[in-house]
Amino acid sequence: MALIVDTSSRRARDAATTLGSRYSFVEEADADLGVVVGGDGFMLRTLHRLLDTGHRLPVYGLNLGTVGFLLNSFEVEGLGERLADAEPTVLHPLRMRAEAEDGRESVYLAVNEVSLLRASAQSAHVRITVDGQLQVEDLYGDGVMVATSAGSTAYNRSAGGPIIPLSAPLLALTPLAVFAPRGWKGALLDADTTVHVEVLDPAKRPVYAAADHHEVGRVHAVSISQVRDADLTLLFDPHHTLEGRILREQFR
């Protein structure tokens, strides 16, 4: 196993030193799983790095951040036993294809969500099609997002979107501070759906797109779909699985 540490955090560095004195670790390239020490942000960056490199080893997180939604509680003792008993959770990221105003296409993956957001004081004006069928002809507001089940408890939830059980093959299409169409609350979509968002007045009402932390400025159109062949495996303690955490979030 490899030790993957948020070196920007002193707490994580100190914890890694303690773990290194108790357990044997190998280089990441030689490992069959990774022990991630940090917080949710660092875990998300680690998952993106694994997607980029193609070395998608399973990861078991030890939380030294604030919330630790994607990680397990930090304990020095019993790590070997916890890893042996850990249950896998497989996540499928979203692929964002964004066309910029100069015609160039950018492709990024997102574990949590893809968002289109206004880039000026003017509201965004977009059109939304789902699997080639026009669904929202004129949306005015701050923007719109597509969230995975794993990301449904994050930005999506704060925007009023639904929390999706991890086992449900669904995506959340959630409007952001939308005043037209008035009263529209979004939609739940099949996970195999492709969502296409067209920016209707990019000169007057510029919009940028973001796949988690990857941003593309002044986009004209964005297509979003789930990637079924890009698996990410997270390991969780049996009594504190990601599925259970997402379930509990619906009652808070």
Please state, as a whole number, how many other Cβ atoms lie within 10 Å of the Cβ of residue 97.
19
Q: What is the pLDDT of residue 183?
A: 87
CA distance 135 to 128: 6
Query: How buried is residue 24: exposed, middle or buried, by Cβ count under 10 Å (0-12/13-18/19+)?
Result: exposed
Kindly list the structural domains of the chain, giving each domain's residue range(s) and its CATH number in brackets, ordered by start: 2-92+231-249 (3.40.50.10330), 94-226 (2.60.200.30)
Residue in the structure block whose two tokens are 């160039």 = 104
Q: What is the pLDDT of residue 186?
A: 96
Q: What pLDDT digit, counting tens, does each position of 66-102 carry?
A: 888 899 999 999 999 999 999 999 999 999 999 998 8
Q: What pLDDT digit, counting tens, does each position of 111-144 carry?
A: 999 999 999 999 999 999 999 999 999 999 999 9
Q: What pLDDT digit, counting tens, does each position of 144-191 carry?
A: 999 999 999 999 999 999 999 988 999 999 999 999 999 899 999 999
**Dihedral sign (CA 177, 215, 104, 146):** negative
Q: What is the pLDDT of residue 101?
A: 81
Token output for 165: 């059980």
Edge-to-edge strand order for the sheet containing 219-226?
A: 105-110, 94-100, 219-226, 194-199, 124-130, 133-141
Q: What is the pLDDT of residue 34?
A: 96
Reported pTM: 0.90
Q: What pLDDT digit, counting tens, does each position of 196-245 carry?
A: 999 999 999 999 999 999 999 999 999 999 998 888 999 999 988 888 88
212 is known as an active-site residue: no
| % of the chain surpassing 90 pLDDT | 84
Q: What pLDDT digit, counting tens, does each position of 10-28 carry?
A: 999 999 999 999 999 999 9
Please provide the average confidence, as pLDDT, over all residues in the chain.
Answer: 94
Residue 55 has pLDDT above 80, yes or no: no
Which of 6, 14, 32, 40 is an active site residue?
A: 40
Q: What is the pLDDT of residue 167?
A: 87
**DSSP state string for 212-243:** TTEEE-SEEEEEEEE-TT--EEEEE-GGG-HH
Q: Are 173 and 144 in contact (CB under 8 A)?
A: yes
**Dihedral sign (CA 231, 128, 101, 204):** negative
Q: Is 143 left (phi over 0), alpha (psi -120 to 50) or beta?
A: left
